[in-house]
Amino acid sequence: MAAEVVMTVEMIKASQMGMKALGAGIAVGLTGIGAGVAEMAIGSAAVGATAENKDMFGLALLFTVIPETIVIFGLVVALLLLFV
């Protein structure tokens, strides 16, 4: 016979906290990958453009960080999960 699993309130709370942490991790991790994939093409094009014309540097840097919004949203979701 399997041992009966007793869950105390503390254990449930701890497990909920763990789930939240997992969720927060997934939110940041996956959005990070998403932002990375999006920045990949922009970044390489930006480096090419800057190599041809140095004045492009500012604009190129800017284009490169545009997909960063994705991971920012992930970070916001993670913060909300953990602290709200």
Partner 1 sequence: MLAPKQMSRLLIAASRDRMAPVVAELYRHHLFHIEEFVEAGAEGYEGFKIGTPLSGASEASVDLVKIRAIENATSIHGDDIDSAKACTRTELQSRIERELPVLEKEVEDLTVRRSKLDTRVKENEQKIAEITPFLTLPVDLDLYRGYTGFTVFAGYVAREVTLSVPCEMSYSPGKDKNFIVIVVPVGQRSEVERALQEAAFQSVPVPEETGSPKARIDYYTAEISSMTTEIAEIHKKLEDVRQKHSGFLVACEEFLKAEVEQTEAPLRFATTKQTFVAEGWIPSDSVDAVTDSLIKATGGKIYVTVLPIDFEHDRVPVEYNNPSFAKPTQVLMDVYSRPKYTELDPTLMVSIVFPLFFGLILGDVGYGLILLAMALGLRRLFKGEEARQLLTVLRNASISTIIFGLLFSEFLGFAIPGLKPIMPSRHLMVEHGAHGPMIPDLMVLAIWIGVLHITIGRILGIINHSRQDHGEHRTKAMMANFGWIAVMWGLLIAIWSIAALPLMPNLTGLPPVVSIVNIGVVIGAVLAVVGVLLIARDSVLEVVEIPTIISHVLSYTRIVAVGFSSVAIAMVVNFISIGMFIQPQLENFSIFSIFIIIAGLVVFLLGHALNTVLGILGGGLHSIRLHYVEFFTKFYKGGGVKYVPFGMKRRFTED
Q: How many residues bind partner 1 (CB under 8 A)?
A: 16
For residues 15-74, which are near partner 1 according to CB under 8 A? 58-59, 61-62, 65-66, 68-69, 72-73
Q: Which of 17, 30, 40, 76 binds partner 1 (CB under 8 A)?
A: 76
Contacts with 82 (C-beta within 8 Å, 6 or more apart), sequence order: 20, 21, 24
Q: How far apart are CA 29 and CA 14, in angstroms?
A: 22
Q: Choose among 73, 71, 47, 77: nearest CA to 60.
A: 47
Binding site for partner 1 (CB under 8 A): 58-59, 61-62, 65-66, 68-69, 72-73, 75-76, 79-80, 83-84
